[in-house]
Structure 1
Amino acid sequence: MERIVLGSGKLYVDEFTGELPEDAAIEVEAKLLGYIQGGATLSYKPTFYEAKDDLNFVSKKIITDEEAILKSGVMTWNGETLKKLTPTARVTEDTAKKTRTVKIGGLSNNDGKKYVLHFVHEDKTDGDIRVTIVGSNEAGFELSFAKDKETVINAEFKAQPQDNEGTLILYKEADTSIA
């Protein structure tokens, strides 16, 4: 069944431990990265090498590389969110003062963590779509505090292989026409 996809969704995150969690295990409020603004964009870009003769009579093409990136604007966030977006972030909380402090920077503080990013587009008519990658935010972030606009962190997660087959993107869709 072909579909028209309208609307945004929810973006969940969890630390990658070597295996992807079941949908129900990650689709819980505690693992919501934050409510997003501007939707989410998934891009996949293969790189090819083509060998061909000077007269263009024969050629052979192979894929030599591929890249997948999931972008999303995170509108609701806090210091714990920054920790998931920044490999050098360290978070401490002072319960007496009810404060959270985030230190960012210092190459020796790189935690090397990878995360499962799980986007869910809910569609009551045609069925839900789920997109899952494993990776980390490689775009850094920018915090813009303006008097008339919300602060949105534009994250860009670069996918890394999630299994021993080199899978970068796991796309699942509900389809009632499947017998």
Structure 2
Amino acid sequence: MEKIVLGSGKLYIDEFTGTLPEDAEIEVEEKLLGLIQSGASLSYKPSFHEAKDDLGLVSKKIITDEEAILKSGVMTWNGNTLEKLCSTARITEDKTKKIRIVKIGGAAKYNGKKYVLHFVHKDSVDGDIRITIVGSNEAGFELAFAKDKETVINAEFKAQPQDNEGTLILYKEEDSSITA
């Protein structure tokens, strides 16, 4: 059944350990990256090489590369969020002073972590949509503090293969027209 998709959703994150978690395992409050603003977008871009003769009589095309990127604006966040968005971030907490310190930068501090990013679009009429990638934020971030606007971190997660088939995107949708 084709559907009209309206609205945003929630973005969950967890460190990737080699296998994707079940939906119920990652869709918990503790793994919410933050509430998002301006939705989320997923882009997939293949690259091709085409070999053809000078007269255009024969050709053969192969896919040479693929890129998938999940973008979202994270509106609710704290220092722990920054650690997931920056692969050189280190956190310390002083429980006595109730302060969290995040150090960012230092190429030698690159942690190489990959994360499971799991976006859930809820639709009680047409069925939910779930998009899952494994990757890391490769776009950096910007913190803009303005007197009349909330600070939103625009994250850009570049997908990496999540299995031995090279899968970049796992898209799941509920569809009541599917029958046994």
Cα shift at 1:170 = 0.1
Cα shift at 1:83 = 0.0
Counterpart in 1 of 2:144?
Answer: 144
Scaled by the length of structure 1, the TM-score of the pair is 1.00
Identity of aligned residues (%): 81
1:170 maps to 2:170: yes
Structure 1 unaligned residues grouped into runs of 5+: none
Structure 1 Cα separation of the partners of residues 106 and 57 of structure 2: 54
Cα shift at 1:73 = 0.2
Cα shift at 1:144 = 0.2
SS at match of 1:111: coil
User: Which letter maps to 2:118?
Assistant: H
SS at match of 1:40: strand
SS at match of 2:178: coil
User: Which letter maps to 1:91?
Assistant: I
Structure 1 Cα separation of the partners of residues 82 and 160 of structure 2: 20
Displacement over 6 Å in runs of 4+: none
Structure 2 Cα separation of the partners of residues 111 and 57 of structure 1: 51
Counterpart in 2 of 1:30?
Answer: 30
The alignment of Structure 1 onto Structure 2 pairs a total of residues equal to 179
Counterpart in 2 of 1:64?
Answer: 64
SS at match of 1:168: coil
Counterpart in 1 of 2:109?
Answer: 109
Cα shift at 1:135 = 0.1
SS at match of 1:150: coil
Aligned-residue CA RMSD (Å): 0.3
Scaled by the length of structure 2, the TM-score of the pair is 0.99
Structure 1 Cα separation of the partners of residues 146 and 156 of structure 2: 22
Alignment of 1:2-151 (within 5 A): 2-151=2-151
